[in-house]
Structure 1
Amino acid sequence: MVHTDLDIERASAQVETQCPFCSVQCKMTVTEVETGVSGQRRTAYQIEGVPNAASEGRVCVKGMNAHQHAVHSQRLLEPLIRVNGELVPCSWDEAIHVISHRLQTISDQYGPDANAVYGGGSLTNETAYLLGKFARVALGTKYIDYNGRFCMSAAASAGSKTFGIDRGLTFRLTDIPMARCIVLAGTNIAECQPTLLPYFNQAKENGAKIVVIDPRKTATAAIADIHLPIKPGTDALLADAMLSIIMDEGFVDEAFIRARTNGYDELLAYMNGFNLNRAADLCGLELEQIREAARAYGMADTGMILTARGVEQQTDGHLAVRHFLNLVLATGKIGREGCGYGAVTGQGNGQGGREHGQKADQLPGYRSIENEEDRKYVASVWGVEASSLPGKGVSAYEMMELVHQGEIKSLFVMGSNPVVSIPNAGHVVEGLKSLHLLVVADMFMSETAQLADIVLPVTSYLENEGTLTNLEGRVLLRKAGREAPGESRHDWRILCSIADQLGKGRYFRFNGPEEIFNELRLASKGGVADYYGITYDRLRREEGVYWPCPSTEEAGIGLLFQQSFAHPDGKAVFTITEGERWEGVSEEYPLILTNGRVLSHYLTGVQTRRSPSLLARELENFAEIHPITAQRYRVRDGEWVEVVSEHGSFTVRCRVGDSIRQDTLFVPMHWGGVQNVNHATRPELDPFCKMPGFKTAAVRIRSLSISGKQPGQING
């Protein structure tokens, strides 16, 4: 490019960071460039991928535009407090004083469990760890959970029961091209983790068959050799059907089963008399489709099964995953290169965020809060008596029920937007409005922050240093390279300040994230998720380290279960438990509503809807519907429709296309207000992991153009 003496373009600052969005955590640089003519300066940004072991230097459209929300004019830059019904600016001293005083008053009057904490799967490991410690030491409450309950809980609990450990991938990303068959069940890699797609394309080039199980013809299904457009809610049954075929046709690995598993004889009895034709009919599939997929996986020398929210976000999600794990164990496809199971983590730190204490039943290192030895150990690290630690709380949705019932009087929300992300959204809003105190720490005035009594401005990914753990269990250090704008503060520092005001400051004397991480390392030592051998110095030198890593002399384990599983006897466990199948649609609500993501947005859209480039790609929400179904309900492409369930309704534009089953509607999850799909999702929970049934709600649809009704104001 040729410049005149009036034309200016120069790099003013460069930040080495990583994308704040999905679980790949792609490394990149963000360079500020001053451009323009003399007297008319403006700042532009150049984004470049940095070679790394996960994304290999690739960055997707979300990562390329993530900086836009970090520099957005709507960033919260000072604390806000509600006065006479309005949120007005206040000082940090006032905000911290009011929060601590009101929390203490509520605790004194109603007991410490009247206060509750709600975290997020995008927080750094340091903040997630500190949030759990804050709840249990500073507040003394048992009520803490986080939005990862709606993301990974089914796969996490299934992995723990089957293998004895929960880690997103049991294999390394670089093992994917070695697989000769890959089953992608309820995961849309191409849109949700697009920088991983080349691994799967490389596997195809090496001769692998790709099986995609999804009610929609997604961008991921487009690369499939076999696409099974399953009826939502029947995943466990499909897994059993594939297992029946694998058993009948002799594809089981008897030697592996006898040497390394328990429960196979019981599984044989459970599968005896399995009706394949009935299963295919209930799944909405042709039996030959299922047979082709089962044979492809069964016959392959190496193979992988990956699940994500399509399988997991159901009221039998835990068991559905375990039934897919039966396939892995029966064929012996785990613990060696090109083999394994993977739960495709959704949030940026969905893996690390569930390991160190912000789940209701966990202490750092994946220790159990109900285990006395675990309690004693963590209490010794924290310098408190084990008897002072509260017991097990409840899941995120159950906390909202307790809010609604008045048992929880205050809620401290950090890194989440429950008004949009939780099912039965109207019920949630009613509960939050009834709280004595709602505090929200966020970068923007989210839908939840709009209801808060106090809003605290926090720093973005460009400003807040810390570690995150990607989907393959690799711990990464995200550096900070930009000053905090305005009066925004790091989330971990906010927790320390409130704890100090509550008289617990001696337990929260940290001057930076590295000091917090060093305490996390010690608290996790000897636990399932052992980070003790990982240090900031190692992360700076080595780019990333797999856990478990019990010693600074060890490399960490990327490929799990090569010799044994994590149960005390070293064996994995088959499951024969059959969950209660969703009863399905009715005459009043004849369609199945399922939800998910689109490429250009993330979670509840609080950040991505502040990116002009990303918002321009998907400006508003939509309902995807099959042409035959649209004709039946007199719905035209592009017009406003109302979707109604017994729990509530929302309004969106209609998008007609043949990439979806006739009995199913698909609606993204990234919008609030009248476009919030969770107004209609159902609150029933998986009995094992407390995952709500996001993917199966019975609904009806009608055109608002025909009724003459106009949609309400749309949040953007």
Structure 2
Amino acid sequence: MNDFGSNYGQTIEPAVLEENRHQAQCPFCSMQCKKEVVEQITTRGVKYKTVGVDNPTTHGRLCVKGHSAYQHVIHEDRITNPMKKVGGRFKPIEWDEALDIIEQRTKEIQETSGKNALSVYGGGSLTNEEAYLLGKFARVGLQTKYIDYNGRFCMSSAASAATKTFGVDRGFTNGIEEIPNAKCLILAGTNIAECQPTIMPYFEQAKQNGSFIIVIDPRVTETAKMADLHLQLKPGEDWSLTTALLKVIFDKNLQNKEFLQNRTEGAEELEAYVRQYSVEELAKRADVPRGDIEQAATIFAEAGTGMIFTARGVEQQIDGHQAVRHFINLALVCGHIGKPGAGYGAITGQANGQGGREHGQKSDQLPGYRSIEDPKAREHVAAVWNVNEKDMPGKGVSAYEMMQKTKNGEIKGMFLVGSNPIASNPNASIVKEGLEALDFLVVVDLFISETAEYADLVLPSTAYIEDEGTLTNMEGRVTWRQGGRPAPGQAKHDWEILSLIASRLGKGEWFSYRSAEEIFEELRLASKGGPADYYGITYERIKQENGVFWPCPSLEEKGRQRLFDESFVHSNGRAHCFTPEHGEEIIKERLSEARPLYLTTGRVMSHYLTGVQTGKSARLNARYFESFVEIHPETADKYGIKENDLVTLESLQGSIVVRNQWSENIRKDTIFVPFHWAGKQNVNRLIAGTLDPVCQMPGFKLAAVSMKPAEAKKQEI
């Protein structure tokens, strides 16, 4: 027998000394997949395994990001102490010193420049409790009107469109399990196969049931490959395409006249508006074959049930509000709303993109999706908060507009929680100048992000697997994230950090919370009677029922899974068809000899937002470790670009250098760049600061650019 004994040639599994199981929800997209992270301490170190957990929305499915999310939680770069910038570098300090600095600097700014010289910038992945508390912190703790969040760049077009049309904005008007019952499905500007892959089985089941699937996208994405009909429109021409679809429906007399007469207003004006256009001219403008438009319109109108889903491709335009309203017009004209297998859905991007916009992070909102300009709403929330309504500030400005105000010196201090605006905002040079101009910047995060590099203080936050709270998924189901893994070092929950700061500023009596559930109980009261009414939802109910839909106005009621069965939320009970007024067409960037290509942007499956978290995962980085530009081979040849070489892209706003990938899945007049990278690869450097006039959404999905091989001396990225 040799020295290896009888185990020679065999793999010896390390002995497990201790095992911890952490129940969690994925921190990335709005599907909110539930999972269990198993942490094993063995004789050879620590091992991790992620297992999907059954739930009503995703039934235990996980994508590659969900499986890998634990990797950023345990990454060596996580900050576990408050960090103070000294001589251009960060050094760890204690919480008391950090709070002393915040108290001193905040009071100095307020005394010299007024309360509105301070601002709050939030994130769409915060829990409902923390999103709610951030709004209260701004309006009670700091008494500033300047608060907004990165969800402004994600859902604001769909939110404003749904509110104007239906009277309320909830991601889906139906439960997600109704998708397979729709006889026709339209997916506009969404690549769910890569961005929300765990929703795909619902569409695959619909296809098996005989549903006709229409995908609208300038690229032949993995989602488009599933479609029965792909309308590969020119970027930014959603208005042209939807107007053409409506024109075909009215021309063929396929509209649901009974529904329009009994449940909508403005249908006659809409019909008159679209009849003035020629389908041929609109098809040419959208660069979609007329026959395909007629087929899509006819099949959708004649289907017994139908659903429309929009996402960032439609919404992230400077006419995003109008574009989404026109897609909703299609659902109304065909009567595809308020019944099983018929409805509208906005494919929410961020983890809590739905809940995050309901409870006070937006500049014009109070909890429960109330308007901050509504006197009754202000009185209700003031009573819950036990403050004088007259002391509550009014409406502020959108996220990008706040950055403009930092640049011009109007805003001098900022508290930034869970976001990375230097990478996510358009016109990044303005954002950089604004951050540099601030007298005082506090960032709450897990890592020193590109934005945090400009901070005076960075405060360590807890990760998704450590932080308990509720989140609202894309279908409007309020779920509970257990958290519970011990926080590393001196990291604290976002709600704890906000409460500590408020206490130092003399507002401790309004922020004396002991748990996330205690904050949720206050949120219930604040939302009571509002459009997003959570009053009937409790932690106990969420746990027992595996999530509860809002609105849920009482403990006796079941949450409403399908909306608008009998009535819409407007005072007259009708939905409002949308007709653009004369002169309302918004002029977008046009191609020119100097900038002859359309640029559009989006995601890849293995990364999330600006990559602060997914960039810390070796497994995810192995798939995409750098950005790229997708180019049609014929376009590349025209510009003398060899495959995989670096190229320079330039717009009126700036330039970037990225590596190119050839693909026949994109239009020849269009290039695509993902937005997950910062620095010299940050595609948002190329995006103008022009905003949608209704919802203040930037036009991320369309820019006119030039392209050329990168110079040899500039081949580094």
State the TM-score bracket (shorter-chain normalisation): over 0.9
Query: Out of 698, 705, 712, which is 1:708 matched to?
Result: 712
Query: Out of 10, 26, 38, which is 2:33 matched to?
Result: 26
Give the deviation of 1:97 after TM superposition. 1.3
User: How far apart, in 2, do the equivalents of 1:100 and 1:232 lie?
Assistant: 48
User: How far apart, in 2, do the equivalents of 1:194 and 1:622 lie?
Assistant: 22
Counterpart amino acid of residue 303 in structure 2: A
Q: Deviations over 1:526-557 (max 9, x none)?
A: 00000000001111111100000011111100
Structure 2 unaligned regions, length at least 5 = 1-6
Matched, 1:618 2:621: no
CA contact (8 A) 2:589 2:702 kept: no
**Aligned residue in 2 for 1:635:** 641
Give the deviation of 1:4 after TM superposition. 8.7
User: How far apart, in 2, do the equivalents of 1:581 and 1:659 lie?
Assistant: 27
**Aligned residue in 2 for 1:294:** 297
Give the deviation of 1:261 after TM superposition. 0.2
User: How far apart, in 1, do the equivalents of 2:542 and 2:18 lie?
Assistant: 27
Matched, 1:203 2:206: yes
Give the deviation of 1:47 after TM superposition. 1.0
Q: Percent identity?
A: 55
CA contact (8 A) 1:179 1:303 kept: yes
Query: Out of 647, 650, 670, which is 2:653 matched to?
Result: 647
Q: Which runs of 4+ in 1 moved over 6 A?
A: 2-6
CA contact (8 A) 1:477 1:539 kept: yes
1:409-420 matches, cutoff 5 A: 409-420=412-423
User: How far apart, in 1, do the equivalents of 2:586 and 2:198 lie?
Assistant: 36
SS in 2 for 1:592: strand
User: How far apart, in 1, do the equivalents of 2:313 and 2:625 lie?
Assistant: 24
Counterpart amino acid of residue 200 in structure 2: L
CA contact (8 A) 2:589 2:704 kept: no
**Aligned residue in 2 for 1:688:** 694
1:223-242 matches, cutoff 5 A: 223-242=226-245
SS in 2 for 1:294: helix
Query: Out of 284, 288, 296, which is 1:285 matched to?
Result: 288
Query: Out of 440, 444, 449, which is 1:441 matched to?
Result: 444
User: How far apart, in 2, do the equivalents of 1:362 and 1:282 lie?
Assistant: 37
CA contact (8 A) 1:179 1:302 kept: yes
Give the deviation of 1:212 after TM superposition. 0.4
Matched, 1:102 2:105: yes
**Aligned residue in 2 for 1:15:** 22
Matched, 1:565 2:571: no
CA contact (8 A) 1:534 1:549 kept: yes
TM-score, normalising length from structure 2? 0.97
CA contact (8 A) 1:234 1:581 kept: no
**Aligned residue in 2 for 1:607:** 613
Q: Deviations over 1:302-356 (max 9, x none)?
A: 0000000000000000000001111111000000011000000000000000000
Give the deviation of 1:161 after TM superposition. 0.3
Alpha carbons of structure 1 residues 286 and 11: separation in structure 2 relative to 1, 3 Å: farther
RMSD, aligned α-carbons: 1.2
Query: Out of 53, 61, 71, which is 1:50 matched to?
Result: 53
Give the deviation of 1:268 after TM superposition. 1.9
Give the deviation of 1:11 after TM superposition. 5.8
Counterpart amino acid of residue 86 in structure 2: V
Q: Deviations over 1:136-170 (max 9, x none)?
A: 00101000000000000000000000000000000
Give the deviation of 1:100 after TM superposition. 2.0
Matched, 1:660 2:666: yes
**Aligned residue in 2 for 1:356:** 359
SS in 1 for 2:432: helix
Matched, 1:592 2:598: yes
CA contact (8 A) 1:23 1:471 kept: yes
User: How far apart, in 2, do the equivalents of 1:509 and 1:273 lie?
Assistant: 61
Q: Deviations over 1:458-513 (max 9, x none)?
A: 00001000000000000000001310001111111000000000001110010010
**Aligned residue in 2 for 1:271:** 274
**Aligned residue in 1 for 2:132:** 129
User: How far apart, in 1, do the equivalents of 2:236 and 2:275 lie?
Assistant: 23
Matched, 1:580 2:623: no
User: How far apart, in 2, do the equivalents of 1:581 and 1:183 lie?
Assistant: 26
User: How far apart, in 2, do the equivalents of 1:682 and 1:290 lie?
Assistant: 31
1:86-165 matches, cutoff 5 A: 86-165=89-168
CA contact (8 A) 1:531 1:548 kept: yes
User: How far apart, in 1, do the equivalents of 2:421 and 2:680 lie?
Assistant: 15
Alpha carbons of structure 1 residues 276 and 44: separation in structure 2 relative to 1, 3 Å: same
**Aligned residue in 1 for 2:458:** 455
User: How far apart, in 2, do the equivalents of 1:579 and 1:531 lie?
Assistant: 38
Give the deviation of 1:85 after TM superposition. 2.1
User: How far apart, in 2, do the equivalents of 1:701 and 1:558 lie?
Assistant: 48
SS in 2 for 1:552: coil
Give the deviation of 1:5 after TM superposition. 8.2
Q: Deviations over 1:429-462 (max 9, x none)?
A: 0110110001110001100011111101100001
Give the deviation of 1:615 after TM superposition. 0.7
SS in 1 for 2:368: helix
**Aligned residue in 2 for 1:382:** 385
Counterpart amino acid of residue 22 in structure 1: C
**Aligned residue in 1 for 2:4:** none
Counterpart amino acid of residue 106 in structure 2: L
SS in 2 for 1:171: coil
Give the deviation of 1:274 after TM superposition. 1.3
CA contact (8 A) 2:427 2:684 kept: yes
Q: How many residues align?
A: 706
SS in 2 for 1:187: coil
CA contact (8 A) 2:589 2:703 kept: no
Give the deviation of 1:84 after TM superposition. 2.1
Give the deviation of 1:583 after TM superposition. 4.2
**Aligned residue in 2 for 1:544:** 547
Give the deviation of 1:10 after TM superposition. 6.0
Counterpart amino acid of residue 124 in structure 1: T
TM-score, normalising length from structure 1? 0.97
Give the deviation of 1:7 after TM superposition. 3.5
SS in 1 for 2:35: strand
Q: Deviations over 1:73-107 (max 9, x none)?
A: 11111111112222111111111111122111101
Counterpart amino acid of residue 291 in structure 1: E
User: How far apart, in 2, do the equivalents of 1:172 and 1:709 lie?
Assistant: 55
SS in 1 for 2:604: coil
